[in-house]
Amino acid sequence: MKKRKWTTFDIVLTVFMLFIIVITLYPFLNILAISLNNAVDTARGGIHIWPREFTFANYQEIFGSNDRLFKAFLMSILRTVIGTIAGIVASTMLAYVLSRRDFVFNGFVGFLLVLTMFVSGGLIPEYMLIRQLGLINDFGVYIWPMLISAFNVIIIRSFMDNLPAALEESAKMDGANDFTIFSRIIIPLCLPVIATIALFLAVMQWNSWFDTYLYARNNEALTTLQFELMKILDNANVSSGDITSQNAAVIAGQTNPQSIKMAITIIATVPILLVYPFLQKYFVTGLTLGAVKS
């Protein structure tokens, strides 16, 4: 591309983009600074992107003294890991079956899947179903209802469609059955798309809080980081604007729910921050679906 002169337009545009970057990042930096600042000091206000009285007390509270928060952290990881693996296994297997146009029930299974993108029973019938299945206050409620998403299956299937058919044919000649072809040949070839879907699934699992709220709030062992954060938010919200009650909490100790809230926010954000930029090129093409070809 040949060099052009920088016009006023370019300068205004650059300033605008820098402005976008600032308003996107500032809140995260602000919360990071508050989470690293002494809770009593924070209440005085005026913390921007740099802590005034540096401390790790809020993080120590989560990872050390507060048993429930640490367990919530582990549970968030557990549901993310298991949910992602289960989701990947299910989606790839279903995608493979659907990529086999010669499968006798291909049309039927495909129809059942695609229709779910348009019809849904709604909140109450789903709640009743989970109840009847006995998944209330059970770890399974984090895994089963979210096992398959039609969108993910379609992305994987369209990737499989672009794989060379010859490999599969030759394996068939050697007498491999369909499951062997799937696990030995198709899966290794699909690793790029599997990475993308794994990102989607992991983010979804990591960010979930409503299923805990609705189905598992009475089981302390199943609480997650997001749900703990939501609870603090909920409590703070009720007294929103009630400065005196906040001060009372501040006087009580070195740290307070407000500062812990910031630390949880950071802990819940960091894994996403670490993962998404590297997978960016996958999900961008994933969105414009099925790989960009010219």
Q: How far is the CB of 244 from another protein (least distance, A)?
A: 13
| Site track 90-129 with another protein (rule: CB under 8 A), x = hit | x--xx-xx-xxxxxxx---xx-xxx-xx-xxxxxxxxxxx
| The binder of another protein chosen from 67, 165, 174, 244 (CB under 8 A) | 165
* Between 34 and 69, CB nearer to another protein: 34
Binding of another protein at residue 137 (CB under 8 A)? Answer: no
Q: Which of residues 200-259 bind another protein (CB under 8 A)?
A: 203, 206-210, 214, 226, 229-230, 233, 236-238, 240-241, 243
Binding of another protein at residue 150 (CB under 8 A)? Answer: yes
* Between 55 and 152, CB nearer to another protein: 152
* Between 68 and 131, CB nearer to another protein: 131
Q: Which of residues 20-39 bind another protein (CB under 8 A)?
A: 20-21, 23-28, 30-31, 34
| Site track 59-88 with another protein (rule: CB under 8 A), x = hit | ------------------------------
Tell me the CA end-to-end span of the chain in Å, nearest whole number.
Answer: 20
| The binder of another protein chosen from 70, 71, 145, 249 (CB under 8 A) | 145
Q: How far is the CB of 221 from another protein (least distance, A)?
A: 20
* Between 40 and 94, CB nearer to another protein: 94
Q: How far is the CB of 49 from another protein (least distance, A)?
A: 10
Using alpha carbons, list the distances in angstroms from residue 122 to 129, 132, 136, 276. 11, 16, 18, 31
Rounded Cα distance between 173 and 218, Å, is 55
* Between 61 and 168, CB nearer to another protein: 168
Binding of another protein at residue 178 (CB under 8 A)? Answer: yes
Q: How many residues bind another protein (CB under 8 A)?
A: 107
Contact of 258 with 246, CB cutoff 8 Å: yes
Q: How far is the CB of 131 from another protein (least distance, A)?
A: 7
